[in-house]
Amino acid sequence: MELNSSGNFLTKKIPISSYFTDLRGELSIPSLFSLFQEVAWEHASTNGFGYGDLQNQGLFWVLSRIHAEINEMPKWTDSIVLTTWPSGTEGAFALRDFTVESEDKKRLISATSNWLIVDIESRRPKRPDTFRERMPSCESFRATNDNAQKITAKSGNPFSNYQIMPRIVDIDVNGHINNTKYIEWAINSFPMDFYIKNHVNELTVNYLSEGFCNEMCSVITTQVDEGTLISEITRDSDMRKLCTVQFCVEPK
């Protein structure tokens, strides 16, 4: 990986290895979101508001919402140029944007995300004001036209319904289910033929509650219309909704 950091922005050149790809030989969506997460933590750490900095104050970062617009997925053996930067605040949210470009500077993917700073003990959010002076924010340049939005419930036709038990490998350093796992579970609700024949061109995720190891979850996917699917991931024991994922798809 090649690194270029200029304060406001962190840019990395990343080769797409085989373990990043799906059955089509393209960068998988969970791998894409894992890369977003990794560069976000790295950039925050270089500016004094990363995982370790917050942990020392009894706090941690939580991803609350993310929206990605996918023009084209890079393929195995390609290299991408991934750029991230803090893009301001909105109430309790700290905003962060991402772009993915090909080596010849073609924009492949644009994304924006909303993050919360949460107290380790109370699990309640705190405003990001304490860290604003350390955030080299660039609000004049945005990856997308709008911030990641709340997903509204919509009626539709049943598409898929299955249960999954979170295990050790699904849990992150904060002790709860890693955010990329919810995306993985939602995509796994697609029939393989549907997945192969369609391209996800937009993806919005709302993270609503913490999920933990050994708590059975249900993944219920509804087809709202020909191009829109919504997956809701719920904890079975108390029916608490943990995450909602909205996909916009089009034929490949």
Inter-residue contact 93 to 64 (CB < 8 Å)? yes
Q: Which of 240, 114, 247, 105 minimizes the C-alpha distance to 187?
A: 247
Q: CA of 202: how far to CAs of 111, 247, 251, in Å?
A: 10, 6, 13
The confidence score (pLDDT) of residue 120 equals: 85
The confidence score (pLDDT) of residue 78 equals: 98
Say if 2-134 and 157-251 have the same CATH topology.
yes
From the number of C-beta atoms within 10 Å of its C-beta (0-12, 13-18, 19+), residue 171 rates as middle
From the number of C-beta atoms within 10 Å of its C-beta (0-12, 13-18, 19+), residue 59 rates as buried
CATH architecture of structural domain 157-251: Roll (3.10)
- Tokens for 194? 């549907």
- What is the domain partition of the chain in residue ranges? 2-134, 157-251
The confidence score (pLDDT) of residue 5 equals: 52
DSSP assigned state of 124: -
Residue type, 150: K
Residue 133 has pLDDT above 70, yes or no: no
- Tokens for 250? 């089009």
Please, what sign has the CA dihedral across residues 37, 42, 48, 54? positive
Residue 171 has pLDDT above 70, yes or no: yes
The confidence score (pLDDT) of residue 3 equals: 47
Q: What is the pLDDT of residues 71-86, one digit of tens each?
A: 999 999 999 999 999 9
Q: What is the pTM of this model?
A: 0.92
Arithmetic mean of pLDDT, 13-32: 97
CATH architecture of structural domain 2-134: Roll (3.10)
Inter-residue contact 250 to 199 (CB < 8 Å)? yes
Residue type, 16: I
